[in-house]
Amino acid sequence: MISREQIEQLGAFDGRGARVLSLYLDLDPRRQVVRSYRIVFEDLVKEARERLDKPALKELQSEVERVQAWMETQKPRGKGLALFSCTPRELWLPHFLNPRIKDHLAFETEPDTGPLLDFLDEYERYAVALVNKEKARLFTVFMGEVEESDAFKDLVPHKTDQGGWAQGRYQRHHEAHVHWHLKKVVRRLSEVMGRRRFDRLIIGGPEEATSGLRHLLPKALASRLVAIVPADVAANERDVLDLTLAIEGRAEREAEERVIHELFELAGAGGRAILGPEPTFDALWLGEVMTLVVADEADVAGGECPSCGRLQPGAITNCRNDRTLIQAVPDLLHRAMRRTLDLAGNVEVVRGDAARRLLEAGGGVGALLRFRAAHETPTGTS
């Protein structure tokens, strides 16, 4: 499993001019049977060669041979692969992923982490608490995998069928122990959040236990609660993962709908949102972008200024800022995602109906803005 910290380290990797092979492969089980993912890799390499000059072609061949040799010895695990290789700078980082990922290859002077940023957006870290009145099992789920688990049981005296005063005393005794047990669950969840900060929380179990736990959650945990569901505290990890992914998918689609609604609501002359590649990249250049919103199927051609770093969609021309000739970038949206995060912004990749609407209204790209600069025309723009 690749961690958020490793993705951030990749984004900060300095190849000092050496190119990095960034490879993503869909390892659907049907592909694994006949190892057709290797053919997909060869096709991606052929496409990359068409974009490179002779010195870069030699560098690419070295990295390709390294990856091919590795593939000969590896049995695929999971449903996706993310691999980064830069022999001159001793970078070698292969990771199998539990969910599927789109086939993609880049060979540039920095790792292409765009698809992983998309993964971080789609598969956030969840905490799952399965509880009853005496048992608890806690999980964290990240990038489509169970990352960490814990289980414990507390001694809770049973209720009594005796009548009168004794029954009332035993009832209060029982309820006090249940309360202490659920308080312990809250304590453990808080410890997990301190160790592996999670985005959302799911509670599962019989109604009496889950209701009691919900009322004990402090604000930091209650604000992350997205679902309370009936569940067996003895459920196996596969069931826990399936439950989490289903809830995660629904929660992510709902969040995307809210972002798209806000984007369209605020877009307009002088508004706090914009639509379309050119105005969005202008805002990114000016440091105005708070949240970059991208449709998952969007494809924007363009390039980057080698002098000032400005990203510019459309035909390869001179930079609008300093008139330097723009260099083509095969994955301009990935570069924009990385740039947004470097500027302390957020990235939201939308899918389904939200993506369709963004493609129709803004070419698949838009942004929520921090502010609008007083002078919105970049220096050198005619």
Nearest-angstrom CA–CA distance, 142 and 116: 13
Q: Is the predicted pLDDT of residue 378 greater than 60, yes or no?
A: no
Rounded to 10°, the helix 114-122/4-11 angle is 150
pLDDT in tens, 145-182: 899 999 999 887 776 555 555 556 667 778 898 999 99
Instruction: Compute how many other C-beta atoms are within 10 angstroms of the C-beta atom of residue 293.
Output: 29
Note whether 240 and 144 are within 8 A (CB): no
Q: Is the predicted pLDDT of residue 351 greater than 70, yes or no?
A: yes
Enumerate domains of the chain plus CATH numbers: 4-112 (3.30.960), 122-254 (3.30.420.60), 267-369 (3.30.1330.30)
Average pLDDT of span 64-72: 96
Per-residue model confidence (pLDDT) at position 160: 54
Phi-psi group of 270: left, alpha or beta (phi > 0 → left; psi -120 to 50 → alpha; rest → beta): left
pLDDT in tens, 317-333: 999 999 999 998 888 99
Q: Is the predicted pLDDT of residue 224 greater than 70, yes or no?
A: yes
Q: Is the predicted pLDDT of residue 291 greater than 80, yes or no?
A: yes
Q: Is the predicted pLDDT of residue 1 greater than 80, yes or no?
A: no
End-to-end Cα spacing for the chain: 48
Whole-number Cα distances in Å, 337 to 3, 145, 295, 334: 18, 24, 12, 5
DSSP code, position 87: G
Nearest-angstrom CA–CA distance, 227 and 40: 39
What sections of the chain are H helices per DSSP?
4-11, 29-34, 37-49, 54-73, 114-122, 164-195, 207-216, 219-222, 237-266, 277-285, 332-342, 352-362
pLDDT, greater one: 123 or 382:
123
Per-residue model confidence (pLDDT) at position 371: 75
Note whether 280 and 274 are within 8 A (CB): yes
Strands 135-142 and 104-108: unpaired
What sections of 267-322 are H helices per DSSP?
277-285
Nearest-angstrom CA–CA distance, 123 and 147: 12
Strands 80-86 and 126-131: unpaired
